[in-house]
Every structure is written in structure tokens, then in C-alpha cells.
Structure 1
Amino acid sequence: MNMFDLAGHRARVTPNRPALEDLASGIAYTYQQLNEQAARFAAAALGQWGLQEGDRVAFLGHSRAEFFAMLFGCAKAGLILVPLNWRLAQPELEQLMEDCTPDALIFGEEFTDSARKLRASGHTRVLVDLDGKAGDCRHYDTDLADTTPDLAPHPDRDPDTPWYLLYTSGTTGRPKGVIQTFRMMMSNYLNIGLAVDLTGQDTLLNVLPLFHTAGINLYSSAVFLAGGTVLVARAFDPDQAMDVLETRATIFFGVPAVYQAILEHPSFSGERLRNVRSWGCGGAPLALPVARQFVEEGIRVRTGMGMTETGPTVFLLDEADVLDKIGSVGRPQLLTEIRIVGTDGQDVAPGESGELLIRGPNVTPGYWNRPDATREAIEPDGWLHSGDVARCDEDGCYYIVDRWKDMFISGGENVYPAEVERVLVEHPAVSEVAVVGVADEKWGEVGKAFLCLKPDSEEPQPEDLSAWCRERLAGYKVPKHFRVVDELPRNALGKVTKQALRQD
């Protein structure tokens, strides 16, 4: 299947159906209007901004409706969109800009100073101000209004043509730009759309950042392809989320930290949120106490798993298994093959742990300008090394045991922090926990647990926490050190950044 004009096709099929609404600005597009905005973007980029097919366009800004016009506009013009993580420090942004070498940078008002610094240091040629406040830059709305959009479908292209780049977090080294393609988006649409029965009647509340694959594809891009409506929030706000989930949204996807905040909202109740028919969670499985509380309110949150490199959907848990298979990410979805291999590269026996390998049309063709990293991650026959330790149970449900890099060896035994975390979070005083390996003269490495406590809970003594673990874990898995903290360090998607804890 060649890459066809997705925005143009949807505009022909359901021109007047609402496609998109920005909950902060109030900007809203029907599918016809979204297609026209995308066409105007393409015309401005190739005209006023002087870009050529294959050039990169960087975006530095919070989530907003215009982003999707840029995304589909880049498809029309043959450009490559590069959403930048706005949480990064200036030197980190410069590193990404050096890697993708964009000819244009589109920015929101709050990032004007940063954008000007990037231009002054030679990291881009054209600055485009989304909000029209900077006098020394191109103005997005003005330039788009001055174009004559070509509404004819763009030419068919190879489905593996780079469409946008998403940078990995770089917590383990130099960030890599993961190439995202038309084939990956269509595969994700089938993987997740069929699993949650997406239709044109669905409305999604999107609270995740758009520099991340979850923000773009869980489930926004799939909802667009189905002809539904996407409500874009600048960020997750519990009060706003509760209102929208109660009155408008029919599907929702979040990370565990988001679900914890919903659960703790003063007005939370399952009855209030009956409008939502499908709930999804990624980044990590929900802790059993959280999952159980949602089930008691009539809400079954389905955990899944994917990667930036897989577009992202790979696994999703069935609703019926939410409590029976707690900790599982479910079964592989339609267009995904799975293997679990040992250090020798051979498939492990059923029930044993090993590295998770993934293959399918949802897998990236590689990393931008990094053939070395591509060869290291993707085998010649298409198998992607995930870097995750996984196992499969007798029912065909998969469990992500931990990251290879998070495993540590204590007294010659492999310790997977995620296993220890699942035990500690069951402690009645603990709300969140992260475990890392730290150096130890006797054992080589031992566990150090960082814990957040539930409100009004008395701080447990280290010996009590140790005893709690010893009743449930082998002795070598029990952390040697315990530390109570106010909060755990997280990245933009809410995942705990263990590198920061190891340096603590």
C-alpha cells in the first residue's frame, strides 16, 4: 500500500464531521477544515518558507490543534516534522537540532527566547511564530492565510518514506531520532483501532505530549483515520479531565500517574465517568491497588505496551483479564510478531524470561542518520531488539519483567527492580516506589528503594519494609536501602527516570 493523502481522503468521506478541538484556544476543525489547513501549511512551507521535499520542520510548543495540521501538511509537502521535547534544556535542544538539521522551526509564544537562540546559533534558518507575537519571525496564521491551497490529493509515496521523527529520551546516551512512517501509522491504526473498536462516533481526550508517540498515536491518529473527534488538552489537568471525561469523551488513554491523579480527584466516581467506554494505560502496568479501585467503580483499565520504534502498539490486555492478569500487558495485536530469546539468541522455553523481540509492519525502518544504531537494534530479518525482559504465561499473556538496563546482579543473582516494586507498592503506607541497583562492597550491587507515602500515612521503619519484602521475595531481592521522598523524578510521559535516582 502506497502512502496516500490521509487528510484529503477523510475530508472527502466525512467533510463536515468534527475532527479536532483545542481545549485551551477553542480552535476547532471539521475534517474539511483540517485538510484545508494542512494544504495551506504545505503551500506556506514550500512557498514563503522556502523548504523543499525531504527537509525537516521542527516544532517547539505545547500540545495544540495546529500540530495535526502541521503533521498532515508535512505529508502533503513531503516534509519531515520533528516535534521537540519542550522540557529539554537549551543545550539538549541544540543537540537534537544538530542531529535533524531543520530548515524551519515553528514555535509557541512561550518558547520565543529559546527559538531565537537556536536561530542565532545557526541551528535553523526560518523561525515561524505560531502566536504572531514575535516581530522578527514569520507569522504562522498570516503565512497560511496568504496561500492558495492545493486541495488535490498529494502523490502516492513509498509507505516507508520518513514522515516525522520522534527522539528517544537519551537517558542511556545520545538521543536517537526514530523514523516514523505511513506504514507504521496505518499498522498502529489496525493494531489499536480493532482492539478497542474505534469508530467515527468516538471522541478522545488527549492529555499526553505531542513530542511522544503516545500523544500522536494513542489514540489520536487512529481516531482521525476512523473519522472520530480528538480533544487536545495543553497538558493533563485533573479538573479539566474529569469534566471532559464526564461529558464528552468516549475513549481515554493515560499513564499510571494520570490514573492515580484521577483516582485521587475529590469528585472521582465511576458513575460520573460512565460516558467513557474504553480506558487504556501504557508506560507501565497499573499497580494492583489502583486497578482494583477502578474495577470497584466499574472501570476496567486495559494495560498495553509499545515503543516509539513500534508505532507504538504491540500488546493490549483484554478487559476481562484486568484483575486476573494484573501486571500483564496482554497479547500481541494483529500486525505484530513476538519472540522471547535468551542471551544466546535462541527462543527460551515457555514461561522463562528473556529479551523481547518484535517484528511487523509497525516497526520503524531505523534511526535518523544512525545506521550503526539501526544495525544494533534491528536484525537483517526485521526483528527489533526491544531491550525489555519479558515472559509469556500459559494463556499467551505477556509480562514485561523489566528493562535489561535496569536489572542488576546481587551476589551473582539477577534482580529485576520491577518485581521488587510490585511487592513494595502493596505495602499499606506506600503509594509509589522505584528501585535501582547501587554499588555494594560485599554483594557487588544491592537494591535501593525510593518510596512515596500515601497521605496521612506514618513513615514505616526500614526494618519493617525489609520484613515486608522478605515475606514475599527471595532474600537477595530485598533492598538494602530505603529512602522516603516527596516525589519521584519523571519524564514528560510520567515515566520514572531511574538514571536520576542512581545519581542521588
Structure 2
Amino acid sequence: MEMFDLLAHRARVTPDRPALEDLQSGERYDYARFNERAARLAAAAREQWGLQEGDRLAFLGHSRAEFFAMLFGCAKAGLILVPLNWRLAVPELTVLVEDCAPGALIFGGEFAEAAATLADQHPALTLVALDGAADGQHDYHRDLAAVQPDLNAHPDKDPDTPWYLLYTSGTTGRPKGVIQTFRMMMANYLNIGLAVDLTGRDVLLNVLPLFHTAGINLYSSAVFLAGGCVLVARAFDPDQALRVLERRATIFFGVPAVYQALLEHPDFSGERLKGVRSWGCGGAPLSLPVAQRYVDQGIRVRTGMGMTETGPTVFLLDEERVIDKIGSVGRPQLLTEVRIVDRDGRDVPRGEAGELLIRGPNITPGYWNRPDATAEAIRADGWLHSGDVARCDEDGCYYIVDRWKDMYISGGENVYPAEVEKVLEQHPALAEVAVIGIPDEKWGEVGKACYGLRDGAEDPGEDTLRAFCRERLAGYKVPKVFERMDALPRNALGKVTKQELRDAR
């Protein structure tokens, strides 16, 4: 499978079909214009910004449709796009820039100050402004208008050629740049596209950040390959999202925090959202109460699971089983193999928990400039060690029990914090909860539960919460310490960053 210019071929097949719309600016692209913008980006990168094949092109900005022209333009030019997490502070961004050494940085106007600081620290970095250039900076739109685009398909490349880098959140240490490739995108398209029956008639509302694999690939890149249309929101706004879901979208993918916010909106109604034929969820488990409320509204939200390292789709739950298999991420999809192993690498019996291993064409070749981390994660015969604890039931449905690193041992017994969290989430006063292991002289480790309250709820207190757990859990699983917090620390997709809780304990 050679790498070929997917966008040029799609533009040849369906040039006039709507491809992209920026919901903030109103700018629209059919596939012919989409391909032209990407071709102009490729030409401008070479002729205006001095980039050569293999160089990195960084992007710092909120979500916008033009991002995808950058992505496919980099494929045409043989560049490696690096979307930077705009939520990071400048010192954190500096670490990423030093790691990937981009030749140019495209930035949105809201990040002009951060971009200037990065350029001061890295004088060889060419700055390209999307929203008005200052002295010494390139103007993105003027540079693209000045070049002659080559609308022909670019030459074939090896399918494992690095296309873009996505940096991990760094919650477990130094961030790693996960290499993303053409092969991974094609595998994800087949894994998720077949599972949700994507067609050229589908319209996706994308509310997720584009520095994350979910924002790029669930389901945007797959929709482009199918010839559908992607509506790009600058950020998630419940009012806007409900309007678009009611009037235009046919498919949607969100994280639990997004689904919770939609559900709590006063205008939410399943009857109004009948035009959306497929709902997907990932990033964290969808709780039974939330899933049930959606089912009561005639909406079945399918939970899945993937990683940046897997492109991302690995699992997806069947629509008809969203309630009776609540908590499951479903079965592995077409182009993915999985195993569950013990600490010695031996397959565990069905029903038992162990580390999830994943293999297939959707697996990353490795981490940028990190052969050590690559060798640790991807071992014999191409199996990726996910770091997740999983189990498989008698029907072949998989459950992510917890993160391997989050598990702690109390008095010789394994404790999976996710199990404890699911119990505490049932308490009517709690809006959110996260459990971590902390050192203990007697037991080695014990649990600490950090929690936030629902609006208007009174704090039940440590003794009440401990008693609530004891009624539902074995004694060694009951947290020893309870701490109320105004808000739990979360990353861009709403997942609790437990390392911050460990660091603050």
C-alpha cells in the first residue's frame, strides 16, 4: 500500500461536494477548493517559508477548518505537521518545540504573544500569522495567494512516512511525540468507517481540539475519505452544538463531559435530534445514568476506546448493547488484534484482568526522537503495550478496568481505582471523583478519593462517603482518605489528570 494523495483523488472524484465549513467564520470548502488550499499550503511552505521534505511545521491555534488544509498540505509537501496544545503554558510549549525543532510556526491571533516568545527563544523559527502579521512575520493568506498550486496528486511515499506528530499530555512524565502515518489513517478509516457506516452523505459536527487524535480522526479524517462534510467548531459550545445537531449533523463524536453538558442543556430533546443517526463516545467511560438518560431520549451512544498510538480506533460497542454492556468498550474492530496478558506476558483466562496489548496497521511506528520509549512500548512481534488493564467477557466484549499505572496494591491486594470511582459516582451529592493510591506505613498503599459536588449539594463528609463505599466494596478497596475539591484537574478531552493529584498529595 503506497501513500498517495488522498485529497487530490477525492477532489477528482467529487470536486463539488461540500467538504469543510468553519462554523465561526462561515468559510466553506468543496473538495476542489479544499485540495487547492492544501496545494497552496504545500507550495507556500517550500517557496515562502523555506521548508524542505521532512521538516516540521507547527501549528498553535484554536480549531478552524483551515487546519485540515495544513494537514493535507503537509502530506503533499512531505512535511510533518505538529499541532501544539494551545492549553499549555509557554515553558511547556518550549519543551515541545525543542523536541521537534519545527522550521515554521503557524499561529492564530490569540496566540501571537506566545508565538513571539517561542521565536525569541528559537531564532531559526519562521513565524506565519493567520490573523494579521506583525513586522518580521509572514502573512499566511498572502503567502498562499502568492504561489502557484500544483493540483496534481503528489508522488507516492512509503505508508509509514511520518505525516504528523501528536504529543501526549505528559501526565506521566516528559511528553512524547507520537508519529502518525498514512497507514494509520487508512486503518482508522476502515476500523471506524465500516463500524458506523460512513458515507459521502454524512455530516460531522467536530467540537474536539485538533491537537488531539480524536479531533483529527473521530471522525473527521474518515469523513473526508468517505467524501462527507465536516463542520468545525472553534470550541465546544452547548448552544451551538444543539443547533447544528438538530439542523445539519448526521454523526457525532464526543467525550463524556460533552454528553453531560448537552444533557443538562434546557433545550435538549431527543426528538429534536433525530437527524443524527450515529453517536460515539470516547476518552473516558460514559456512566450508566448518563447512558440511560440518552436511551430514554431515543439516543444510543456507542462507547469506544483507542489511543494516540493506535490512530486511534481499537474498540467500539454495538449500538444495541449500550445498556446491557454498559462500561464495555465493545469488540476490537476489523484491522486490530488484541491480547490480555499478565506481568509475565502470558495470556490470561477469559474474564481475568491483565494488560491490554494491541497490534495492527493502526499502530504508530514509534515516538519522535525516543527510541527508548518506542522499544518499551512496542515489543516483540509488533505488540503495543497499552498500559491499560482490561478484561474480556464471555461475549467477547472488552472492558477497560483501569490504567496499569493507576492500579495500587493495598495489603497485598490489587485495587483498581476505576472500580471505586464507579461506586462513588453513584452518590447523589458527587459530580466527579478520582481515586489514587498514596503511601501508607501499614498497608503499603491506600486509596485517596478526590471529589467535587453537584451544584447545590451539601458535602456528605468523609464518614458518610466511607460508609457508602463499605456497603458496596470489599474493605481493602475503601479509600482511607477523602478530599473535597472545587474542580478536578483535567486535560483537553476532559480526562482527569491523576498525576497532578499525586503530585499535590
For residues 263-288 of structure 1, what are the alpha-carbon distances to aligned partners after superposition, in whole Å with 9 as ceiling and x for unaligned? 11111111121111111110111011
Q: Which secondary structure does the structure 2 equivalent of 1:406 belong to?
A: coil
Q: How does 1:466-481 map to 2 (within 5 A)?
A: 466-481=466-481
> Contact 1:245–1:275 at 8 Å: present in 2 too?
yes
Partner of 1:316: 316
- The number of aligned residues is 504
SS of equivalent residue, structure 1 residue 428: coil
Between the aligned partners of 1:316 and 1:373, the Cα distance in structure 2 is 28
> Can you give the 5+ residue segments of structure 2 that lack an aligned partner in the other structure?
none
Shift of 1:414: 1.0
> Secondary structure of the equivalent of 1:279?
strand
Question: Are 1:101 and 1:124, in contact at CA under 8 Å, matched by a contact in 2?
Answer: no
| Structure 1 position 281 matched with structure 2 position 308 | no
Alignment check: 8 A CA contact 1:101 1:123 kept:
no
Cα contact 1:61–1:86 (8 A) shared by 2: yes
CA separation in 1, counterparts of 2:71 and 2:20?
A: 13
Residue 29 (structure 1) aligns with: 29
Task: Give the aligned partner of residue 13 of structure 1.
Answer: 13
Per-residue Cα deviation, 1:39-84 (whole angstroms, up to 9, x for no partner)? 0000100111111111000000010011000000000000000000
Q: Distance in 1 between matches of 2:400 and 2:388?
A: 7
TM-score by length of 1: 0.99
CA distance in 1, matches of 2:469, 2:163: 48
Contact 1:102 1:123 survives alignment (8 Å): no
Matched with 1:293 is 293
Identity of aligned residues (%): 78
Q: Match of 1:432, as an amino acid?
A: E
Matched, 1:400 2:400: yes
CA contact (8 A) 1:109 1:131 kept: yes
User: What SS does structure 2 have at the residue aligned with 1:67?
Assistant: helix
The alpha-carbon deviation at position 134 of structure 1 amounts to 2.2
Partner of 2:130: 130
| Alpha-carbon contact 1:206-1:220 (below 8 Å) kept | yes
Task: Please give the residue correspondences for 1:199-214 in structure 2 after superposition, counting only pairs within 5 Å.
Answer: 199-214=199-214
Which residue in the other structure is 1:80 paired with?
80
Q: CA deviation at 1:123?
A: 6.0
Structure-2 separation of matches of 1:125 and 1:238: 37
State TM-score, norm by structure 2.
0.98
Counterpart position of 1:191: 191
What is the RMSD computed on CA atoms of the aligned residues?
Answer: 1.0
Question: Partner of 2:230 in structure 1?
Answer: 230
Q: Is the 8 A contact 1:19 1:227 kept in 2?
A: yes
Aligned equivalent of 1:378: 378
The alpha-carbon deviation at position 198 of structure 1 amounts to 0.6
1:144 & 1:348 partners in 2: Cα distance? 55
Give the 3-state SS of the residue equivalent to 1:36 in structure 2. Answer: helix
Does 2:58 align with 1:58?
yes
**Contact kept in structure 1, 2:171 and 2:500, CA below 8 Å:** no
Alignment-derived partner of residue 261 in structure 2? 261
Distance (whole Å) between structure 2 residues aligned to residue 233 and residue 415 of structure 1: 40
Gaps of 5+ in 1: none
What does residue 44 of structure 2 align with? 44
Query: 2:341, 2:473 → 1: CA distance?
Result: 25
User: Equivalent residue of 1:159, what SS?
Assistant: coil
CA distance in 1, matches of 2:307, 2:436: 22
Q: Does 1:271 align with 2:271?
A: yes
Which residue of 2 is the match for residue 160 of structure 1? 160
1:365 matched to 2:387: no
Match of 2:260, SS state, is: helix
Most deviating of 432-441 and 223-232: 432-441
Q: Conserved in 2, the CA contact under 8 Å of 1:51 and 1:103?
A: yes
Q: Write out per-residue CA displacement over residues 93-146 of structure 1, whole angstroms, 9 at most, x where no aligned residue.
A: 111011101101110001111111111111642110011242320000000001
Other-structure match for 1:430: 430
Q: Is the 8 A contact 2:108 2:131 kept in 1?
A: yes
Equivalents in 1 of 2:98, 2:8: separation in Å? 33
The CA deviation at 1:380 is 3.5
Aligned to 1:218: 218
SS at match of 1:242: helix
Instruction: Quote the residue 2:462 is aligned against.
Output: 462
Distance in 1 separating the partners of 2:455 and 2:101? 47
Instruction: State how far apart, in whole Å, the 2-side matches of 1:455 and 1:113 are.
Output: 36
Q: Aligned equivalents of 1:250 and 1:486: distance in 2?
A: 36
State the 1:28 CA deviation.
1.1
